[in-house]
Structure 1
Amino acid sequence: MMENGGKYKMTGNRRLSDSFMRELKDGIYHPLVQRVRLDKDLDMEFRGTYLNIYYQGHSILNLKNNGSTTIDKKFLRGVEEKVPSSLKTNTDVNAYLELLPNIKDNVTYCPNEAGGRSSKSRELEFEQLLIRANNLESRNNSEYIILDRQYVVNKGVDRWDLIALRWPIEKRGRPYQEGYLSIIEVKYAQNPDIQNIKSQIERYANYLEVHLPEICEDMENILNQKLELGLLAKTEGQTNRLRKLPIKPDIAETEVIIYLIDYNQNSDLKKRAEKAGKPDFQGKVHIALGGLALWQSNLSKFGDSKS
């Protein structure tokens, strides 16, 4: 969808207000932040006037800056009458936290998904696992920090799975450092959408080429707010460097990663996508392979290297 002479309209920024941040850091919402810090299966994301807490990729709390909340009814089975309708007092927050294990259990077992989790549900779950591996597992020392997920652009026409800061290790020792923006598109199993990945990335590219400076500024703000709340497992030295790190709006260094999770390398779908060729994008486009499923084509003898 185009506006203003053919340019894509920028979605509002995700930075939380100072008053909301105070309540999260030292006020009535601080116990929520503590719980997210202690439970690596939870993820807190900022949305400007509200925040979401996710479990297995599903929102289990939408909290607005005025204390009003939204939780999907299917996750409230058995506790719907006990969960506060808003979180405006310490008592409300404590009541929600006491019922959190029940809410998480309702996410894990959802009768609406008869016969097991849907492919889309698994895709959302892997998105959150990527956040955990890159943001919360300090021993990984990853070069990526996931700053946001499900980032809606172009009035809802597109929704970016993950937005990350790329912080190259080889540049971290330099006096002046800078990071770059990465968009990560997750495809799980035999997701047929892979056939359309070229046109999908080209839509992303059109938006990025217009709005990259605003998005980078937005993500710098999110990075600093997550550091302030201790939501990233980084050393003191890394935290200090990240506070000063600019995310450079350089389109040539901006990256789109197609992350294929448990994707069969013999898939005709993947072959069709590859035949379409590289998307028309001034930045970088990469494929990443991950997951737990095994195929013989992915194995090599120990000590051998693949070309």
Structure 2
Amino acid sequence: MAKMISESFVYDLKEGCLCKILKYVKADSTLQFEIRKNYINIYYRGGSLIKIKEISENLYNAYFDKNYITSNDSEGVIIQCIEDIDSIEKTRKLIEFIPKIKQQMDFWMKLKKPDGGEREYKHIVAKENNSGNVGKYSDYFICDIEYTGHLNKEEDYKFDMIGVKWPANSKSRENNDSLSLCIIGMKHNEYEDFNITNYSSKIYEFIICEEKLNRLKEDIKEIYNIKSQLGLIYPYNNVNIDFGSNIEILFIFANQNPKHSKLNKDMENFRKTTVYKNLCNIAEIKIAKGSFMGYRLYDESLMKI
């Protein structure tokens, strides 16, 4: 299977010409780092801040999304691409653009998504479960956001988040194999356009396909290893995880009124469906409850449905 990003790409992020950008991301709690096929994506408030793509060994291009530019004056102009990044000096020049890009994105968010948007909250979940000395005590680590099957663009599936359940007790942390794969669906604020039965049906169709499930597991194992090497996820070193047969499907209904009539009715109807019964035969289905008003995921704060 082809690698997500090359070993030289990983090295350049750790110690080579891109090390300053990794350091910047780790120091800025508003940024989120994701690994894609042959490139990395740095997100801000759920939107794509910068893409850095490997052109050849130790040579990279950086891309900005011009759709976030809302101003017509010269102050609002940001170049769309910085080419031929092959040195720390060029990476520093890239970093100089970041505050301006963030400002442009803030303007765009204020106009288009004043409540922040669902993507922004997905990144908050990832940060709170992955980052630093606090994140390592979570029972779940978020490996990827909006997984689409990176190696096969013709596929039509997308999951909000993919996680790994690795309980925080010392005995479990001694074992890095037989971990549980966790497929996470998140709905923030507005629930009306979400259908839990349809969403769960797509998950079921995906995980009963052995080829797709195995590809997902291989992708996530590689992503976890790279992120851990880069100090972005526990245990912050070179670790190779593996999965057992357990699969969890976790729903996060963020900022929802617990008395929401449609949500409660949908949950009641979902339990009566064939999709629910079929899924229960191959996975555990859970809903996250509040963790003292935070987004960190603890096993005892999840309830089965």
Task: Work out whether the TM-score is over 0.5.
Answer: yes
What does residue range 213-224 of structure 1 map to in structure 2 within 5 Å? 213-224=214-225
What do residues 88-138 of structure 1 show as CA deviations (whole Å, max 9, x unaligned)? Answer: 243432222112111112222217735x526xx521111000011001042
Partner residue in 2 for 1:69: 62
60-69 or 171-180, which moves further after superposition?
171-180
Q: Distance in 2 between matches of 1:41 and 1:149?
A: 15
Residue 68 of structure 2 contacts residue 105 of structure 2 at CA under 8 Å; is this kept in 1?
A: yes
Residues 14 and 291 from structure 1, CA distance in 2 versus in 1: closer, same or farther, beyond 3 angstroms?
farther
What do residues 6-65 of structure 1 show as CA deviations (whole Å, max 9, x unaligned)? Answer: xxxxxx877211122222222211111111111121111111211100111111011111
- Structure 1 counterpart of 2:13, one-letter code: L
Partner residue in 2 for 1:201: 200
Partner residue in 2 for 1:95: 93
Partner residue in 2 for 1:151: 147
- Structure 1 counterpart of 2:253, one-letter code: L
Shift in Å, 1:79? 5.1
Shift in Å, 1:217? 1.9
RMSD: 2.7
Shift in Å, 1:247? 2.3
2:134 to 139, 143, 156: 139
SS at match of 1:162: strand
SS at match of 2:249: strand
* 2:236 equivalent to 1:263: no
SS at match of 1:16: coil
Shift in Å, 1:81? 4.6
Q: Distance in 2 between matches of 1:175 and 1:45?
A: 25
What does residue range 265-280 of structure 1 map to in structure 2 within 5 Å? 265-278=258-271, 279=276, 280=278
SS at match of 1:259: strand
What do residues 256-299 of structure 1 show as CA deviations (whole Å, max 9, x unaligned)? Answer: 11100101112122023113223231211111144999xxxxxx
Residue 79 of structure 1 contacts residue 99 of structure 1 at CA under 8 Å; is this kept in 2?
A: no
SS at match of 1:169: coil
Partner residue in 2 for 1:107: 105
Residues 207 and 105 from structure 1, CA distance in 2 versus in 1: closer, same or farther, beyond 3 angstroms?
same
- Structure 2 counterpart of 1:42, one-letter code: L
SS at match of 1:126: helix
Partner residue in 1 for 2:227: 226
Partner residue in 2 for 1:285: 285
- Structure 1 counterpart of 2:159, one-letter code: W
Q: Distance in 2 between matches of 1:157 and 1:176?
A: 31
276-285 or 81-90, which moves further after superposition?
81-90
Partner residue in 2 for 1:297: none
- Structure 1 counterpart of 2:257, one-letter code: N
Q: Distance in 1 between matches of 2:173 and 2:78?
A: 54
Taking structure 2 as the reference length, what is the TM-score of the superposition?
Answer: 0.79
* 2:48 equivalent to 1:59: yes
Q: Distance in 2 between matches of 1:93 and 1:263?
A: 42
Residues 292 and 260 from structure 1, CA distance in 2 versus in 1: closer, same or farther, beyond 3 angstroms?
farther
What do residues 143-192 of structure 1 show as CA deviations (whole Å, max 9, x unaligned)? Answer: 11111111114835331111111102355265675311101111011222
Residues 82 and 244 from structure 1, CA distance in 2 versus in 1: closer, same or farther, beyond 3 angstroms?
closer
Residues 217 and 188 from structure 1, CA distance in 2 versus in 1: closer, same or farther, beyond 3 angstroms?
same
Q: Distance in 1 between matches of 2:124 and 2:229?
A: 22
Q: What runs of 5+ residues in structure 1 fail to find an aligned partner?
A: 1-11, 294-307
Q: What runs of 5+ residues in structure 2 fail to find an aligned partner?
A: 294-305
1:245 to 241, 247, 253: 241
Q: Distance in 2 between matches of 1:175 and 1:268?
A: 42
SS at match of 2:82: coil
How many residue pairs get aligned? The number is: 270
State percent identity of aligned pairs: 23
Partner residue in 2 for 1:302: none
Q: Greater share of strand residues, 1 or 2? A: 2
Residues 173 and 187 from structure 1, CA distance in 2 versus in 1: closer, same or farther, beyond 3 angstroms?
closer
